[in-house]
Amino acid sequence: MAKTGLFFGSFNPIHVGHMIIASYMANYTDLDEVWLVVSPQNPLKNKKGLGNMYDRLEMARLATEPAENIKVSDIEFTLPQPSYTIDTLTYLHEKYPAKKFVLIMGADNLVSLKKWKNYEVLLKDYSIYVYPRPECDIAGWEGHPSITFTETPQMEISSTFIRKAFKENKNIQFLVSENVIAFMDSKNMYR
Ligand SMILES: Nc1ncnc2c1ncn2[C@@H]1O[C@H](COP(=O)(O)OP(=O)(O)OP(=O)(O)O)[C@@H](O)[C@H]1O
Ligand SMILES: O=C(O)c1ccc[n+]([C@@H]2O[C@H](COP(=O)([O-])O)[C@@H](O)[C@H]2O)c1
């Protein structure tokens, strides 16, 4: 059964930090592929400054185009908003019965997982691959049967940083793919 890792995010825009994680999970774990699931709106985040979801999807597609085992998904675009991960997983499970879905998340998300909708069901029914984030205390989660801690390399960068830098006309050449920068320019995004 194909094992597919799901990496959820706003990707506003996608940056090298996201790409390192997707690439590590797709090539250095037992996952066969990774899907970047573009969230129309994160249930715990403010909508202000959020780029159009189709533009965010296109940027994620452009950035991952060269990687055969990384794909992008717009599955949450048609589901009720804000998108709760458990609802998306349930939907995907029904739509793709031949795939085994694994949730990918940062240690920062693990710390707040108990605030997520139906997190007990999520932990009971799905495996979660966790990548490290600085200063995140994962105490209490060690040895949990559904959780695998990975040694994903870390790159401290955020989309917020990228949007600000781009607005100020600073160089983001090695932080965002060239074709994504061209797309942001052509659409006059984040200015
Ligand atoms: N540099 C990074 N290293 C590891 N994980 C990251 C990094 N940046 C973001 N993530 C994680 O990737 C997922 C998707 O991120 P998201 O699209 O919300 O980006 P972000 O860079 O945190 O955005 P923003 O700055 O707009 O809040 C989240 O779980 C987030 O914690
Ligand atoms: O399901 C939930 O209750 C829930 C609560 C917060 C976040 N999420 C998911 O986690 C993803 C990453 O969140 P964040 O805050 O680290 O960007 C986000 O895109 C959502 O899909 C999900």
Number of domains making up the chain: 1
- How far away, in angstroms, is 18 Cα from ligand 1 center? 7
Mutate to test the pocket of ligand 2, among 8, 53, 73 (most ligand atoms within 8 A of CB): 8
**47: confidence class by pLDDT, cuts 50, 70, 90:** confident
**45: confidence class by pLDDT, cuts 50, 70, 90:** confident
Q: What is the mean pLDDT of residues 3-22?
A: 97
Nearest to 21 by CA among 60, 77, 76: 60
39 CB near ligand 2 (under 6 Å): yes
Range of the domain at 101: 2-187
Q: Atom of ligand 2 at shortest distance to CA of 39?
A: 19
- How far away, in angstroms, is 61 Cα from ligand 1 center? 17
**Whole-number pLDDT of residue 50:** 84
108 CB near ligand 1 (under 6 Å): yes
**Whole-number pLDDT of residue 170:** 98
**Whole-number pLDDT of residue 5:** 98
What CATH number is associated with residue 19?
A: 3.40.50.620
Q: Relative to the alpha carbon of 106, which ligand is closest?
A: 1
Mutate to test the pocket of ligand 1, among 6, 12, 18 (most ligand atoms within 8 A of CB): 18
Residue 191: alpha-carbon gap to chain centroid: 24
Please give the backbone phi and psi of residue 182, each rounded to the nearest 5 degrees, phi first: -60, -40
10 CB near ligand 1 (under 6 Å): yes
Q: What is the pLDDT of residues 60-111, one digit of tens each?
A: 999 999 999 999 999 999 999 888 999 999 999 999 999 999 999 999 999 9
109 CB near ligand 1 (under 6 Å): yes
126 CB near ligand 2 (under 6 Å): no
Q: What is the mean pLDDT of residues 23-38?
A: 98
Q: What is the pLDDT of residues 131-187, one digit of tens each?
A: 999 888 899 999 999 999 999 999 999 999 999 999 999 999 999 999 999 999 999
Contact residues for 176 (Cβ-Cβ < 8 A; gap 6+): 13, 14, 15, 16, 63, 162, 184
- pLDDT of 122 higher than 80: yes
Q: What is the mean pLDDT of residues 121-133?
A: 97
Interface ipTM:
0.92
**46: confidence class by pLDDT, cuts 50, 70, 90:** confident
Instruction: Quote the CA–CA distance of 189 and 136 in Å, as a whole number.
Output: 32
Q: Relative to the alpha carbon of 160, which ligand is closest?
A: 1
